Chains A and B, each alone.
Chain A
């Protein structure tokens, strides 16, 4: 069985500061890992995903995440926050090679202070 824990339901940073959203996962099989973003009153949009290969994954809008197997982590970062990054972010895991039955974390709401 898989599970995801996102550390911090709310994160607040200043515009221009580093964004770090934490995600730890549990999986009995090699995982596929995902970050999605949800803007107000919208659906979920894929930011990036890790399947196999390079452990540093680059996504849209300047975000990236690093898969660390030894730490069972997949933290999301962005060097410089922009006001438009304010949204809710979800980390998710699925079993590799099969159906994309994602298991989601509880979400982290990111606030950007001017």
Chain B
């Protein structure tokens, strides 16, 4: 079983729709992250959370929101999806001093 599970793995949605990407982990890590990958741009940080009551904006948070429902769950929402949010989204987890561990990714297409 994967330590960091992202659902769905693939999603096609229409412009203007609300969509939620979910991430759950069994690693017992307290820190969770959402990154976005675009070709030629690498990965960019959207939001991060150090614990259940801590949420922080990353480099590109506009148009996104997050919810940390429990230590093991961190969801990313697009309130009104637009085509330039088409990308590969990664959830990652860590504890202080360790390198982030990444999930398998969610490929999102907004048409």
- In the bound complex, what is the Cα–Cα distance between A104 and B31 (angstroms)? 18
Shortest CB-to-CB span from A8 to chain B, Å, is 12
Contacting residues, chain A, for B105 (C-beta < 8 A): 42-43
Instruction: Assess the A100–B41 pair: CB atoms within 8 A.
Output: no
A-B interface contact total, Cβ < 8 Å? 54
Interface residues on chain A, number (Cβ under 8 Å): 23
Instruction: Assess the B42–A101 pair: CB atoms within 8 A.
Output: no
Q: Knowing A43-B90, A99-B31, say if A104 contacts B99 (CB, 8 Å).
A: no
Question: Taking the complex as formed, is A44 at the interface, i.e. its CB lies under 8 A from any CB of chain B?
Answer: yes
- In the bound complex, what is the Cα–Cα distance between A46 and B103 (angstroms)? 12
Instruction: Assess the A100–B45 pair: CB atoms within 8 A.
Output: no
Question: Taking the complex as formed, is A31 at the interface, i.e. its CB lies under 8 A from any CB of chain B?
Answer: no
Which residue from B31, B43, B90, B103 sits with its C-beta under 8 Å from A100? B31
Instruction: Assess the B43–A99 pair: CB atoms within 8 A.
Output: no
Contacting residues, chain A, for B99 (C-beta < 8 A): 34, 46, 49, 100
Which residue from A9, A102, A106 sits with its C-beta under 8 Å from B45? A102
Q: Knowing A42-B104, A99-B31, A99-B48, say if A105 contacts B42 (CB, 8 Å).
A: yes
